[in-house]
A and B are shown apart, each in its own frame.
Chain A
C-alpha cells in the first residue's frame, strides 16, 4: 500500500524533494501524535500556542468592559437597560459569525480566516476608547463580540495539526484556555485602570486608555499568527476551489439532517444553559460584587476572575467525567452525568443569589463555576454520537454527487491510526485535480474526514464542525443572549434576584436531557429498545437508499461498530475489524 507514495504525489512540492523533519513524532499525514504542552516547536505546538493565545485575547477583549462598568456607566451616563443591552449585544454577534467562520476556514484556511476576523474586530476594541454614549457603547461591544467566533478556527486548526488520538485533548485545552480570557480580563482591566489612574489620569480617561491593552494584545496575536503560523504541517493553505456547483444545495441538505434530529435541539438548549450562563455571568458578576458588597473595583475584579479562571480545570474535568461514566455505564451514564452536573450547577446558582455574606458568595460562586463549566465539557461528550452524516462535515463545499463525478469514491475503511488512501485522477481539462476521500477514526469517538484537492489537504474534526456541534455551539450563544435579556436587562429584577431566577431556569432547561433517547443505548430512564436496535441501524437510518448505493454510509458503519463502547462496561468496547479486506464501492 503506497501510502507515502500517494502522499508525495499529492502533497506540496517541497515534500517531494526533501522529506521534512518534525520536532514531534508525526503520523503519515504529518500530524503530531504527541501533545507536548511546553514546547513551541514548529509547526504543531507553535500552532497550538498561537491559536489558544489568540482565542484568549478575543475573550479578553470581548469581556474587557464588564469589570470597568462601574466607571463606564457613570462616564457614559448609562442606565441598567443600556448596560444589559450592551451585554446582550456582546454575545449575540458570535452566533452569526461562527457560521461564517466555518466557511471561511474552508476557503482560506484557519490562519487567514482567524487573523482576518481578529484584525477586523480590533478596531472595535480601539473605538471603545472613544465611545461617548449608550449607543456607541453598544455598537463597540457588539462588534468586539464577533471575535468570539475564533473558536471555530481554533478547532479547525487543531484538527489539521494533531492526529485523531490526541486531537480531542488539543481541542479541549485550546478551547478551555481560550475561555480563561473571560476570567483573566476581570483581573487585568481593573489593574491596568488603577495603574493609569495612579499615574495621574482622571478616572474617566483612565478606563479609555486601559482599553488599548486588550486591543493591542489582540492585534499583536494576529500578527504572530500571520508571521509564525502555518495552516497545515506541510505549509499553508491555498483555498479550495469549487467545481461550479452551488454550495447552497449542499448546505440545505446538511441543514435538513441537522434540524430534524431532535437530540441536536435538546443539546443546543441545554448548552445554552451551561455555556450561555457562563458568558452571561462573565458579563454581570464583577458589577454584582462591586454593588452588592461595596467592594473596590479591583477586589470585585479579582473575585469575578475566579469564575472564569476555573475553566482551566473544570471544563476538561467534565470531558473526563463523561468518558469515565461511558466506560462503566455507556451513553446512559453520559446523559446522567450531564443532567446531574448541570442541575447541581443550577441549584448552586439559586443559592448564589440568596446568600448575603461576601465569603459565602465567593465560595458558592466558585462551586457554581466548576459545575456549570464541567457541564459544558460533558455536553461535548454526547454531541459526537448524535449524528454521523458525512456531508455534515464536507469541507470541499461539493456534494457527494459532484465528488463522485470528479473521481472520488469512499475508500475502504481501516482501523484506528491507519488509513488507506485511494484516488483516481480526474480527467477534467482545466487542472489535473485529484480528489481523494479519507476515512479514518478511532475506537472511541474521534472520527474525521479529509480531502485532498489540488495538492493541498486538510482534515477537520467533525466533532467541532458538524451541524450538530454547530447547533450546540450556537445554542450556547443564544442562551447567553436570552438569559441576559430576561434577567439582567433594566431594573425589573435586582441582580441577586436575577441570579436566583437564572438558576431556576437552568434547572428547568436541563430537564429535556431526560427526553434524549438513543434506541441502541437507551436514555436516562429507559433502557435500549426491546426490539434489538443496533448502532448500525441508528446511524444508517440517516442515509437514503440512493446514498447507500453510492457507499456514502460506510464511514457510519465503521463508527457504529466502534461506538459499541457506549453500551457500557459489560461489552467489549474495542472492536478492531479486519484490516485487509474492505470492499470498495
Chain B
C-alpha cells in the first residue's frame, strides 16, 4: 500500500526530469538584431602614450596597448541625428571590451551569437554607469587578465528591466575599422623559469644518481 502512494510523486519526478532534459530556461531572449544603434562610442589610447595608429602601404597597424599598463579613453553618448526621446527608456550603460572577428576565428568560446544571453563577443566590462543625456567619458587601465587579441569597444544601453535596448560601438558594422590590439602579460616570471629548470635538472640528475648508487651497491655486494 505504501508503494502505491509513491507512484504519483515518482512519476511526477520522472516527468520533470524528462522535461528538464529538453527545457532550456530562456525568458526574455533578446536578439542583437533587435537593438538599435543609437549610441556613438569612441575608444582611443590616451594622448601621449607610445602607441599610435600607423598606415604603411596596405597594412594598417592597429594601436597596441599593453595589459596592466596602458590606458584607453572611452567616450559615449547619444547620436544626435536621432530624434529626441529615443533615449527615454535608457537607464544604465555598460561599456564592454569586445573581440574583433579576427580574434574569434577557430575559437568557439568567443563566438558571436544573435541571442544576447549566449553571445560571447564582449567578455570584459570596462565600466557601468547610469545613463545621462550628456556625453560621457571614462579612462580605463587595461586589466592584467585581458588576453592577447584584437578588440573594439561596445556600449549597451539597458532599460529599467535590465534588458538591452540599444548599443553603440567604436567600429563599423562589419567590425573592421578602428580596432586595437592588446598585448597581454605572459604570466611568466624569471623566478618561475629558473625554478622550472632547476627542478627538471634535479629530477634527471637524481635519477642518474640513484642508478649509480644501485650499481655501486650491486658491485659491492657481489664482491662480498
A-side residues, CB < 8 A to B, are: 70, 73-75, 77, 79-81, 112, 115-116, 119-120, 122-123, 126-127, 129-130, 132, 202-209, 212, 215-216, 219, 222-223, 226, 236, 238, 291, 355-357, 359-360, 490-491, 494-495
Closest to B148 in A: A77
Interface size on B, residues (CB 8 A): 39
30 interchain pairs, CB-CB under 8 A: A74-B147, A74-B148, A79-B106, A79-B107, A80-B108, A112-B214, A115-B207, A116-B211, A120-B204, A122-B203, A126-B196, A126-B203, A130-B192, A132-B186, A132-B188, A202-B185, A204-B185, A204-B186, A204-B187, A205-B187, A205-B188, A205-B189, A205-B192, A208-B188, A209-B192, A236-B214, A291-B108, A355-B21, A491-B108, A495-B108
Contact call A75/B186, Cβ cutoff below 8 A: yes
Complex Cα distance, B166 from A184, in Å, reads 46
B145, B187, B192, B204 — which one has the most chain A CB atoms within 10 A of its CB?
B187
How distant is A351 from chain B, measured CB to nearest CB, in Å? 9
Neighbouring A residues of B187 by C-beta, 8 Å: 75, 202-208
**B residues 207-224 with Cβ under 8 Å of A?**
207, 210-211, 214, 218
> Which 8 pairs from chain A and chain B are nearest by CB?
A204-B187, A123-B200, A74-B147, A79-B106, A119-B207, A122-B203, A360-B21, A205-B187
Residues in A neighbouring B210, C-beta threshold 8 A:
115, 226
Contact status B206-A130, CB under 8 Å: no
Contacts of B8 in A (CB 8 A): none
Instruction: Specify the main secondary structure of chain B where it touches its partner.
Output: helix
Query: Cβ of B148 and Cβ of A112 under 8 Å apart?
Result: no
Provide the B14-32 mask, 1 if CB < 8 A to any CB of A, else 0.
Answer: 0001001111110000000
Q: Say whether A123 contacts B107, CB under 8 Å.
A: no
Complex-state Cα separation, A452 to B187, whole angstroms? 55
B148 touches A80 (CB 8 A): no
Given A116-B211, A126-B196, A126-B199, 18 more pairs with CB closer than 8 A: A74-B184, A75-B147, A77-B148, A120-B204, A132-B186, A203-B144, A203-B145, A205-B185, A208-B188, A219-B199, A222-B207, A238-B218, A291-B109, A355-B22, A356-B23, A360-B17, A491-B106, A491-B108
Rounded to whole Å, the gap between the CB of A456 and the closest CB of chain B is 11
Among residues of B, the one whose C-beta sits closest to the C-beta of A360 is B21
Contacts of A127 in B (CB 8 A): 196, 200
Nearest-Cβ distance from residue A355 to partner chain B, whole angstroms: 5
Decide: B147 and A77 in contact? CB cutoff 8 A: yes
User: How many angstroms from the CA of A206 to the CA of B187 in the assembled complex?
Assistant: 8
A491 to B109, CA, bound (A): 10
**Do residues A119 and B186 form an inter-chain contact, with CB atoms below 8 A?**
no
In the bound complex, residues from chain B placing their C-beta under 8 Å from that of A226 are 210
- The DSSP consensus for interface residues of chain A is helix
Task: Determine the distance from Cα of A223 to Cα of B199 in the docked complex, in whole angstroms.
Answer: 14
Output the nearest chain A residue to B215 by Cβ-Cβ distance. Answer: A238
Which B residues lie within 8 Å of A359 (CB)? 20
Q: How far is the CB of B141 from chain A (nearest CB, A)?
A: 14
The residue of chain A having its C-beta at the shortest distance from the C-beta of B196 within the complex is: A126
Known contacts: A202-B145, A204-B145, A208-B192. The answer to whether A215 contacts B184 by CB under 8 A is no
Cβ A215 vs Cβ B105 within 8 A: no
- Cα-based distance from A119 to B207 in the complex (angstroms): 7
B195 within 8 A of A: yes
Verify A357–B21 contact, CB threshold 8 A: yes
Please name all residues of chain B whose beta carbon is closer than 8 Å to the beta carbon of A120 when the two chains form the complex. 203-204, 207
Contact assessment for A202 and B144 in the assembled complex, using a CB-CB cutoff below 8 Å:
yes
Select B211's contact among A77, A112, A202, beta carbons within 8 Å: A112
**How far in angstroms is the closest Cβ of chain A from B200?**
3
Contact of B107 among A80, A112, A216, A236 (CB under 8 A): A80
